[in-house]
């Protein structure tokens, strides 16, 4: 009788452990990019929302959001194939991760777009220096299928401080700055300002 009870308890513990492991895997898949292993867009947005809430309550708190996009990924992907493109994206994720501080948040947002959240961004110069370190990582060529591939990355920066901004507004501002950098030339960065937003709205109205 005691043996049966022990076997039932062991099976129950095993089932519970398997269920917990499955739950952890599902949560990881939900919040992480499967190719690079980095946090995904959903987790990126959640982190921005959390930090924006802190900034709205605590004076002088600030953080920076970087959005970045590869400048020639489509050409590389089409010429060398999707597997090579995936290898490049993995390497890009590693280089970005190696460029920032351990406490900074790096995510792959989809396609060839990546994001970084820099907490406690007290000085703009500190953020700019970090961006320059990222760009320095792209001075070295990538080796893909025996080919040395030169790739550059355009980066948009927005500094979040004080009044509460929605996650959508913050990502939009960084996105506007990123496309300004891309339009100004490859391998550049731009810091968002309100004039950029006005220009973007005017451009949309003209196109409409």
Q: Is 112 a catalytic residue?
A: yes
Please report which helix (H) or strand (E) contains residue 199, including its range: helix 194-207
CB 153 within 8 A of CB 134: yes
140 three-state secondary structure: coil
Alpha carbon distance 88, 53 (integer Å): 35
The order of strands in the sheet holding 153-161 is 105-110, 113-119, 62-70, 153-161, 189-191
For the chain, give the number of residues: 208
CA 179 to chain centre: 16
CB 51 within 8 A of CB 116: no
Token representation of residue 7: 């076997």
Token representation of residue 163: 């009044």
112, 139, 169, 175: the catalytic one is: 112
**Cα torsion 196, 97, 114, 69: sign:** positive
Kindly list the catalytic residues.
112
């Amino acid at each position: 009788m005691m043996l049966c009870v022990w076997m039932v308890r062991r099976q129950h513990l095993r089932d519970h452990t398997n269920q917990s492991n499955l739950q952890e895997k599902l949560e990881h898949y939900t919040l992480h990019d499967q190719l690079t292993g980095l946090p995904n867009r959903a987790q990126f947005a959640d982190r921005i929302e959390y930090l924006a809430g802190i900034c709205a309550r605590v004076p002088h708190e600030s953080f920076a959001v970087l959005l970045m996009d590869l400048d020639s990924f489509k050409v590389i992907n089409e010429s060398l194939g999707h597997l090579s493109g995936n290898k490049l994206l993995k390497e890009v994720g590693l280089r970005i991760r190696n460029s920032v501080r351990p406490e900074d948040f790096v995510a792959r947002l989809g396609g060839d777009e990546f994001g970084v959240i820099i907490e406690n961004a007290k000085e703009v110069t500190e953020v700019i220096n970090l961006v320059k370190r990222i760009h320095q990582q792209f001075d070295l060529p990538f080796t893909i299928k025996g080919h040395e591939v030169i790739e550059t990355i355009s980066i948009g920066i927005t500094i979040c401080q004080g009044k509460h901004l929605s996650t959508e507004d913050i990502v939009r501002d960084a996105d506007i700055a990123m496309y300004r950098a891309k339009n100004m030339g490859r391998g550049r960065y731009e810091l968002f300002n309100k004039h950029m937003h006005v220009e973007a709205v005017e451009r949309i109205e003209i196109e409409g």
